Each structure stands twice: as structure tokens, then as C-alpha cells.
Structure 1
């Protein structure tokens, strides 16, 4: 090769290299465009804001527990002795007799441990089923008890996952408002045979036994539910006192607070509302003992959007403030 052809060959090589580089970059851009640009994610993959990882602490603890719940996750109906033993263990813990509570609960393979909400530093006793991690979980649920304040009220989540994100509302409420007990059902409401796992309508569950123990102690409660958008299309929330009227004052306060925050509430004690919880067995037990009980159905945006959920929790926390003074 002479001195005149060498620069030409070099130039051709450089030109070929540049062309390859441009092509590779173009392919990378095209690959990104084909997977993302102009495509709307499917409903299964479009996550609402609150579906991102929750903040560390109690909410993360509870959502990790409920993450595996589905209609096929299984449920075993507890015996009367099982139910009474768990409720008695919760009662002993509320009386400050933790050692006795642990011994009693161990009879049905439940245990107590202390968890700390990293966001607030508050401590909670977690009463949990040791069988949860086994191949056939019983689905009997968990109980969380505030260890840093006198217990004055309860929050109840009977349909975690099935009523989407109600477990998060419960966790956020317990973290935000001192003096609470949170009861979370241990299975999807359709996990058992027939309606066995639908604890809001069954008296033969650990969930009901614990709620009944709290009612026996006079603790008012709020039960958190989630309704579909078309269940009450003109309302964001349905608030009810169940079959009784012991919590009408608290119900009005909750509805007024939510209205000020921009939400429309159907007030079941004053008018006909869907999903008013008249057949709810925990509400009936509370009414039988003249204990205040609120049954609250939240529409999708108040559960699936973290900002709206925060407004709902703030309004609920205001209600518990009244109960804490009682």
C-alpha cells in the first residue's frame, strides 16, 4: 500500500466505526421506545401511589404480613377453646400481665413480640400466630397493642387485601393516634369454605373473640372497610353506627371533618345508605353492651392514593382523640 492509499483506508475504517456506533445507539433508543414510549401500562401493572413501598415501621410490618393473602391462601376455623384462649391472652396483656399472656397464648401457638414504629419511635406488642410461616397457615390474624399509652380504643380490619389497602389505613391510624389496639384478620375474606373467613359476619372467629373482649372492657371501636366506586357513586365514604346509636356523636364529627376536607359522606344514622353494616357482628356485640362502634366504608381514592388516605386517617385520629379523653 502506497502513501496515497493509506489515509483513504484509515478514513474508511473510522467511518465504519462511527456508523456502527450510531447504529448501536439507535438500537438502544429504539429498544427503549418500543417498551415504554406511547404505551399505557396494563391495569395489572399500574400501581396507585400508595402501592409503592410503605415507610419503615408498623405499616411495612403489617403490609408484609398481608401481602400473601388471596382467595386460595387457606383458612382453618378455630375451635371455641382456640378463640377463648387468644382473647384471654389479649386481655392479660391489656392488664399488664405480659408473662401470663405469653404462657396462655403459647397454648394455641401464638407469641408476643415488641415492634417499634421507626417513624414515631412508639412501641407495640404484636400478638401473632407462629403457624403463619408454615405451609398451611390457619388465618387467625394478628393484634397490635400500643405499649406507650393507656389503651382507650380499637381499630378493626376484617377484610385486609379483599378491601384494598384497609390494612394500611389501620396501620397508619394506630401509628398516628395513641392508645389504640389494632385487630387485623388473618386471611382473605373468601379464603375459607363458604363465608368462614368473612369475619365481619361470623362469631366463630379469633377476630370476633378479640373484638368481643375489647367490647367487654368498654373500648369503642372503628371498623374499616373498602367499597367499590359504584357501590355508593354519589359518596366518597359511608359512615354508620351499625345497628346502634351509641357513636352518633363521633359519627357526626367524623362526617363533618371529612366534609371539610372535601369528601362527600353518606350518614347512615340520618338517611338510607348502602353498606351500612347493619348485620356486622362486631357492631352488634358493641350495641348489646352500649359501646360506641363506627362502621366506615371508604371509596377507592381514599384508600389507593396516599394523600387522600392521609386525610382519612387524620379525620379518624380526631375521633379517637374524643375516645382517649373518655
Structure 2
């Protein structure tokens, strides 16, 4: 039994902007993709066989608070693979949605929102980057939302190949814009399915000021995001959500934002 929230957040608390980071090599990415695919297809033994040689393992966890079970892919040691990130999958039902956190700590409290969504809605996957976006020398190597050579990207693509819709969580600074509390878009797709428009409606009902990227010119629309481009190629639903500080963490609109996103996930699960 583990406290899932504490387990995830204790990992992200160790991420530093001056920390080390090096992406997995081509062979490691290929093995990772096969291992993640095996776990998604229900073969944990094969996933372990594939992931072990690159420093990753599969652990079945039971959350102390909810009693729900999750499968975790994480590093088994403290080498380079510990900075590649983690994957958490609901083990009690088929995976129907994913929450993606490419910039934990850097985009403050997006990691906490990701855990909250995973705990609150069955059938989910949480894809978590393992380094501050400025780690590894600050040249952009760890900015996994714009890098196809990351473990994060490979995991997201495996989910997309199986038709799993995803929402990617970002945060913006007050200095970026004070007109909006949330910027909602579909990245490279530039169009929105009905459930994404409904998410914008729910956020506005919760009192948030929302810019809709498919019908207005918005900052931070995620059009250069490599996971959004991959989703377009895979014909998978991708949602890019940018939240102001007050819509994250202890901000006054944080609960409203989380409630609205949970409604989207419930739609994806058929609820």
C-alpha cells in the first residue's frame, strides 16, 4: 500500500533546473515503446523483460486512500533513466484517457493536478516528465513538449496509437497574459471536438476566463507541441491546456479548473 499522491510529488520535488538530464538513445526509446505497449496490452511480464535492461521496472501499487490499483513504470536506480519520467496506469480498468505533465515543477502545480485527476477518475494514465524543463544545461533538451527524442514523447505516442485521448497540462506566468485564466486548444489540429468545447463551457461556468484556440487568436496554443503533431498523425484527440497561477495549486480558481477537467475525463470514460 502506498500514498500515490505523496509518491509522485516526492519524485517531482527532486527536480531542479540545474539538474542532470540526457535523453534515451534510439535503441532505448525503441525498447521503452515496446515495453509500454506490452503493459498497455496487459502483458506485464513482457514489459518487465523489455524495460529491465534500460533501467526501468514495473511495480503494481495500491493507493492507501482509494484502494485503487495502479501500474507504475519508473527507474529502478539513480542513473540517467531516473530523469526520463514515470508512467502511472489504472490497473483496475481499461485505459480510456491520459493526463500529460511535460513540465513538472517548472509549470508549478501541474504535477499535483495530474495526480488529482488520476486519483479522481478511473481508467486513466498519468505521463510525467522526469526533469525540470531547463535541466541538462538549459539548451532545451529536457523540454519534452518540443522533443521527439524523450521517453515522455514515446509513451504518449504509444497511448495515441491505441486511440487514447489525452490532455496536456501547462502553466503560464501572470506576465504572459492577464486577460485569461485558461487557454484551451487542440494544438496542431486547430479544431475542437464537442467534448473540448464543453470543457471550455464548464470552465467558464466555474468562473474562469477562457481563450478558445480554435475560434480565437490565443497565446500559447501549443501548435508547435510535438505530442499534438503526433496526435494529428495518429487521429487521436489531444487537448492543450494552459492555466494561470490562480487556476493551479492553492489558487482561488484551482478547484474549479480541476472539476471542469474531471468532467472531460468522465466524458472520455463514457460516464
How far the C-alpha of 1:246 sits from its partner, in A, is 5.8
Runs of 4+ with deviation above 6 angstroms: none
SS at match of 1:243: helix
Identify which range, 151-160 or 80-89, moves more after superposition.
Answer: 80-89
> Matched residues in 2 for 1:186 and 1:65: separation?
8
Identify which range, 112-121 or 307-316, moves more after superposition.
Answer: 307-316
Aligned length: 269
Change (3 A) 1:110 1:96: same
SS at match of 2:207: coil
Q: Is the 8 A contact 1:74 1:137 kept in 2?
A: no
Change (3 A) 1:231 1:61: same
The answer as to 2:111 corresponding to 1:167 is: yes
The answer as to 2:38 corresponding to 1:120 is: no
Q: Is the 8 A contact 1:126 1:143 kept in 2?
A: yes
The answer as to 2:121 corresponding to 1:177 is: yes
SS at match of 2:236: coil
How far the C-alpha of 1:165 sits from its partner, in A, is 0.7
Aligned to 1:283: 228
Report the aligned-residue RMSD: 1.6
Q: How does 1:293-308 map to 2 (within 5 A)?
A: 293-305=238-250, 308=253
Q: Is the 8 A contact 1:240 1:276 kept in 2?
A: yes
Aligned to 1:264: 209
Q: 1:288-310: per-residue Cα shift (whole Å, max 9, x none)? A: 12211000001101113166333
Identify which range, 246-255 or 85-94, moves more after superposition.
Answer: 246-255
Q: 1:254-273: per-residue Cα shift (whole Å, max 9, x none)? A: 11101111111110111000
Q: Choose the corresponding residue for 2:174, options 229, 234, 259.
A: 229
How far the C-alpha of 1:245 sits from its partner, in A, is 4.4
Q: Is the 8 A contact 1:75 1:137 kept in 2?
A: no
> Matched residues in 2 for 1:122 and 1:198: separation?
31
Aligned to 1:18: none
Change (3 A) 1:294 1:59: same
SS at match of 2:87: strand
Higher relative contact order at CA 8 Å, sep ≥6: structure 1 or structure 2?
Answer: 2
What 5-or-longer segments of structure 1 have no aligned partner? Answer: 1-55
Change (3 A) 1:109 1:137: closer
How far the C-alpha of 1:278 sits from its partner, in A, is 0.5
Aligned to 1:218: 163
Q: How does 1:1-326 map to 2 (within 5 A)?
A: 57-131=3-77, 133-134=78-79, 138-193=82-137, 194-245=139-190, 247-305=192-250, 308-325=253-270
What 5-or-longer segments of structure 2 have no aligned partner? Answer: none
How far the C-alpha of 1:231 sits from its partner, in A, is 1.3
Q: Is the 8 A contact 2:54 2:81 kept in 1?
A: no
SS at match of 1:316: helix
> Matched residues in 2 for 1:267 and 1:300: separation?
18
How far the C-alpha of 1:232 sits from its partner, in A, is 2.1
Change (3 A) 1:119 1:246: farther
SS at match of 1:181: strand
Structure having the larger proportion of residues in helix: 1
> Matched residues in 2 for 1:210 and 1:255: separation?
27
How far the C-alpha of 1:100 sits from its partner, in A, is 0.9
Which of 1 and 2 has greater Rg? Answer: 1
How far the C-alpha of 1:163 sits from its partner, in A, is 0.3
